[in-house]
């Protein structure tokens, strides 16, 4: 039987990263997130800061440059995407794991059995999460949340053709603002075990 992968897509400041880490810890499997950034930086020769920045630069200007074949941004962003895609596939092939973001739900599901989760929350709780965890001023938090969601949506559409956050693209939707991160992880762990038992 092929092993199963968990992918966790998430709204920014929803607590999705924590849900992924708790899930992996409970199952005793690796969780890949920032490690993908580090490995991408090594493979491309770009700095980790540039890789992080590129992940969040799926803006209208980038799409314009892509269409018009303007290469200044296009080259390194596409290079980073390709490297991250390769790393995600390699990590998934090694064995069961949790992969956070980076279109893994699309990339991995084509090759291996995958449980695709999407973690979301309401704006009030996301603002509080951003203030408490990212050191962002409350007055700027909502704007940052809206900006990050837009960029993740553009990134997903650009490289996969799918609509980010659309329930049709996921197997389970988890409201971390309502349930809490630990309960979301518990549900995800149980779903994984149930599916594993049926496979």
Per-residue pLDDT of the chain (199 residues; tens, 9 = 90+): 479 999 999 999 999 999 999 999 999 999 999 999 999 999 999 889 888 877 766 544 444 444 434 445 556 777 888 999 999 999 999 999 999 999 899 999 889 999 999 999 999 999 999 999 999 999 999 999 999 998 888 888 888 889 999 999 999 999 999 999 999 999 999 999 999 766 4
pLDDT in the model for residue 1: 46
What does the alpha-carbon distance between residue 31 and residue 43 come to, in Å, rounded to a whole number? 20
CA angle 153, 159, 162 (to 5 degrees): 55
C-beta separation of 114 from 4 below 8 A: yes
pLDDT in the model for residue 79: 85
pLDDT in the model for residue 54: 78
What does the alpha-carbon distance between residue 2 and residue 137 come to, in Å, rounded to a whole number? 46
pLDDT in the model for residue 77: 78
């Amino acid at each position: 039987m092929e092993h199963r992968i968990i992918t966790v897509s998430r709204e920014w400041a929803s607590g999705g990263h924590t849900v992924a880490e708790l899930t992996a810890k409970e199952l005793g499997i690796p969780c890949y997130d920032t490690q993908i950034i580090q490995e991408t930086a090594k493979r491309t020769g770009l700095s980790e800061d540039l890789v992080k920045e590129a992940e969040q630069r799926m803006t209208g200007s980038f799409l314009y440059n892509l269409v018009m074949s303007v290469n200044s941004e296009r080259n390194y962003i596409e290079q980073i995407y390709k490297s991250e895609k390769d790393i995600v596939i390699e990590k998934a092939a090694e064995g069961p794991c949790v992969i956070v973001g980076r279109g893994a739900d699309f990339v991995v599901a084509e090759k291996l059995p995958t449980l695709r989760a999407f973690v979301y929350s309401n704006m009030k709780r996301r603002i509080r999460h951003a203030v408490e965890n990212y050191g962002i001023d409350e007055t700027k938090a909502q704007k940052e949340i809206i900006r990050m969601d837009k960029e993740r949506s553009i990134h997903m559409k650009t490289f996969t053709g799918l609509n980010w956050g659309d329930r049709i693209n996921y197997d389970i939707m988890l409201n971390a603002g309502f349930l809490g991160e630990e309960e979301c992880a518990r549900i995800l762990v149980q779903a994984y075990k149930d599916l594993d038992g049926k496979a």
